Amino acid sequence: MRMIAYKYPDIQVVVNISAPHIKVWNSDHLPPSLNPHSTTSSAPVMGVNLHFSFDVESHTVDTNIIFVSVNTPPKTHGLGAGKIADLTYA
């Protein structure tokens, strides 16, 4: 989402419904990236067109596109445990 906000400054990007994550992301202690291979920072887009909120209703009223993502942690048991994504919620 950060890259979409960076590449398309005219688009407002609002992400996540996890209050604990949003609290960290809206603080002054935002990690440079959740992706260790990323070379871009959130700083140029934070508060400009990249916003974090869990108020889904108010941010989806006038939306043109909605991306939905789910957590895919590694499987903890069964075939592929520790090696493949747990797609239970996908």
CA dist list (Å): 85 to 21, 28, 82, 89: 21, 32, 8, 11
The domains located in the chain, with CATH, are 1-90 (3.40.50.720)
Q: Which of 1-10, 29-38, 81-90 has the lowest mean pLDDT?
A: 29-38
- pTM of structure: 0.53
What does the pLDDT read at residue 57?
A: 82
Across the range 23-32, mean pLDDT stands at 70
